[in-house]
Structures are given as C-alpha cells and as structure tokens.
Amino acid sequence: MKTVFSPLHAGHGGQMELVAGAIVPGFEKPSRAEIVRARVESEALGPILAPETHDLTAAMRVHRQDYLDFLPTVWPLWEASGKSGSAIPFTWPTRGLRGDVRPKTIDALLGFYSFDGGASFVKGTWEAIKSSYDVAMTAAGIVKAGERSAFALCRPPGHHAGAGFMGGYCYINNAAVTAQWFRDRGAARVSILDVDYHHGNGTQEIFYQRGDVQVLNLHGDPMTEYPFFLGHADERGAGDGEGLNHNYPMPFGTGWESWSAALEDACGKLQDYSPDIVVVSLGVDTFEKDPISQFKLTSADYPKIGRRIAALGLPTLFVMEGGYAVDEIGINAVGVLTGFEG
Ligand code: SP5
Ligand code: ZN
C-alpha cells in the first residue's frame, strides 16, 4: 500500500489547546505523524510519496467558501492584533446568540468558525492544514487510478470539522473532501467508516441529508464523551439521507468484544449499501493507553480491524485521524494497514 505524507505538518506544532479547565500543550502533536511514518518504513508497508499540490476546489465542495477563506487569515490577523502564542477561540454563538452575523475581529471570528478551543493556530498551522488536504487528495487519486488502497497520513486530522467550522484538532475534513471527490469523479455511492474514538460530527453534518454518501461512526457515547453534542444512536440521517447515517455510541471501558460487534454490524450495513469506494477515518485513540480516551482496544486488535475492512472487498482510502498514545501510534495505525494487506 502506498502512503502519502508531507513534512509540512510539522509547522503545526507547539500549539496549546483549551481542555477541561486548562490551557495545555496540544495532544495532537507533530511526533504523532513522524512515528506513524517511521513505522510505515520499518514495516515496509510500501512506498512513501510526497503529495501533489491541489487547489481548494475539492474542499469547496464540502466546506463553506467564507470558512475556507478565513483559515489562511487566522495567524496573520492574530499577529496583527498584537498577540503571540496560540490563537484559541473563547466565545461561541450558542443558542440565544447571533450565529448569522459574521463579526470583524480575530477573537470573534475564531469563535464564529469553531465549536471548541481545541483547534488552535500557530504560525505554520495553515500550511499544515493545506498539506494535510494535499496528502488526502493525492492518496484519493491513487485509489481512483485503480489501486486497491492507499494511506493518507494526514496531520492535522479532519473528522470534527464541519462545513463551516473547525474544532477537535480538525480544520479541513479530509475524509469528507475525498468522499465528495470520489462522487464527483464518478463513484455512484461512497461509504465513510469512522473508527476514531470520538464521534465524527463534522462528517455526519456534511452528509446528513445525502443519499449518495453513507456515514458509519463507532465512538464514545456523547452523553459522557467529547464532542458531547452529536453522535447519538437516533441520528439516522434526514431527507435523501434518511437511514444512511449510523451511529454506534459505546460506554467507557468498551473493549474488543463489544467494539468488534459494532464494527461487524457497521460492515453489514456498508455491504448492504454497496458503495463503489470506502473512506476509512482511521483514528487509533480507541487504544487502551490513549491519554484522552476510554476504550480498551489492544495493539493486537488493530490488524483485526484491517482484516475486517479488507473482507469488504472494496477500494479503500485510509485517512489518518486521531490517536494520542504516541509511543504506540505507529504500531496501532500501521497494524490496521498490514492487517488489511493480509
Ligand atoms: C481527531 C480527534 O481525535 N480529536 C479529538 C479531540 C478531543 N478533544 C477533547 C479531549 C478531551 C479530553 N479530556 C480528558 C483529558 C484527560 N487528561
Ligand atoms: Zn479522536
């Protein structure tokens, strides 16, 4: 399997995040991608390719134009306002406030275009976001050209980003962008299988009313786990998308037995839908030692995930999402891919 990787991710580093009452060093850090890349090499998964540069046309198919225009301006506006450190939002237009009037200052705009204080900016953040998009698009092109699979080693991740907002370490929704791109390039139906520990709220939002993209999500129950405000089992899609959104919220402590039963059910629904392509939002924060998560998967479980996905017998694009146990992130993420290759 070919991997696509860009060193430009590293410019998004040293950023702080707001989480549970503290401003702390970002869990989503450059070493994550470097360790996965090293494991791809040491396991001889296949060649590692640099991305081609893409314009943002494909991103505009799932994101709002004003949101995409905003992203490259964040750091320049932050610096121009006399600040340094990390650009982090702190005020959000929740119920009872005006979410329809675009404000003018950088602090206000950060809140307007986000849902939490987890997607912060430093100097190299936009360049990293763009490189992550280029990585995803290049890997999608490899699958479109006829290869059975490809691995987009994206950083930053994407699945929490919605049409018009960032959050949860995510800015451009790489899985959603590539799924839409496959549709635009002739795929009749696409399925997105999101195995990250956290609910992929952005992906769900983008395709919720769509009949041509099925979304399956396995994750920590939002009653008690981030992102808290989406990801319940009764969210089944609407309009043309009625019945095509499938959520599998699971409690803290969930291990392989229950998790794999959910995967099995999701794979059955995926097979029934009969897509031309599968996009996997590959998070490995389901790992027992993940510092911010509460599932109990072990390193031995990840190859089994890959094998199950391979058994679908469909062209598959793997897009890297979360996973914060840095020491084992390579073993676990690449474990899925070697399991897939059999
Ligand atoms: C892509 C992805 O995996 N994003 C995850 C964003 C999670 N942000 C909130 C994390 C809350 C962690 N709370 C527990 C802290 C333990 N010290
Ligand atoms: Zn996650």
In the predicted structure, residue 20 carries a pLDDT above the cut 90: no
Residue 248: predicted pLDDT: 99
* Separation between Cα atoms, residue 104 and residue 117, nearest integer Å: 19
Report the nearest-CA residue for atom 6 of ligand 1.
168
Using only C-alpha atoms, the chain has a radius of gyration, in whole angstroms, of 18
Interface pTM (ipTM) of the complex? 0.96
Alpha helices (H) in 100-216, listed in sequence order: 106-112, 125-144, 174-184, 201-207
Report the nearest-CA residue for atom 1 of ligand 1.
322
Q: What is the pLDDT of residues 114-147, one digit of tens each?
A: 999 999 999 999 999 999 999 999 999 999 999 9
In the predicted structure, residue 224 carries a pLDDT above the cut 90: yes
Q: What contacts 152, CB < 8 A, 6 or more positions away? A: 4, 135, 136, 138, 139, 140, 174, 178, 317, 318, 319, 320
Pocket test for ligand 1, best of 12, 292, 324 (most atoms within 8 A of CB): 292
Beta-sheet strand order (sheet of 2-4): 48-49, 2-4, 149-152, 316-320, 277-282, 190-194, 213-220, 245-250
Whether 293 and 286 have beta carbons less than 8 Å apart is answered as: yes
Kindly state if the Cβ of 285 falls inside 6 Å of ligand 1: yes
Nearest CA-CA partner of 158 in 18, 334, 326, 322: 322
Report the nearest-CA residue for atom 12 of ligand 1.
292
In the predicted structure, residue 223 carries a pLDDT above the cut 90: yes
* Separation between Cα atoms, residue 91 and residue 123, nearest integer Å: 22
Q: What is the mean pLDDT of residues 327-337?
A: 99
Q: How far is CA 264 from CA 11, 161, 304, in A?
A: 38, 27, 11
Report the nearest-CA residue for atom 14 of ligand 1.
292
Can 160 be counted among the known catalytic residues? Answer: yes
Among the bound ligands, name the one nearest to the CA of residue 155: 1
The minimum-distance atom of ligand 1 relative to the CA of 159 is 1
> Which DSSP category does 253 fall into?
T
Task: Look up tokens 């992203």; give the residue.
Answer: 71
Task: Calculate helix-pair angle for 256-273, 302-310, nearest 10 degrees.
Answer: 20
What does residue 43 show for φ and ψ, rounded to 5 degrees?
Answer: -90, 0
Kindly state if the Cβ of 322 falls inside 6 Å of ligand 1: yes
Q: What is the pLDDT of residues 72-100, one digit of tens each?
A: 999 999 999 999 999 999 999 999 999 99
Task: Output the average pLDDT for the chain.
Answer: 98
Q: What contacts 44, CB < 8 A, 6 or more positions away? A: none
Domain covering 2-11+27-51+133-341, topology? Arginase; Chain A (3.40.800)
pTM over 0.80: yes
Whether 12 and 155 have beta carbons less than 8 Å apart is answered as: yes
* Separation between Cα atoms, residue 174 and residue 58, nearest integer Å: 10
Among the bound ligands, name the one nearest to the CA of residue 160: 1
Residue 83: predicted pLDDT: 97
Q: How far is the CA of 226 from the centre of ligand 1 (A)?
A: 7
* Separation between Cα atoms, residue 241 and residue 300, nearest integer Å: 35
> Which DSSP category does 296 fall into?
-
Cis? peptide before 76, omega within 30° of 0: no
* Separation between Cα atoms, residue 233 and residue 250, nearest integer Å: 10
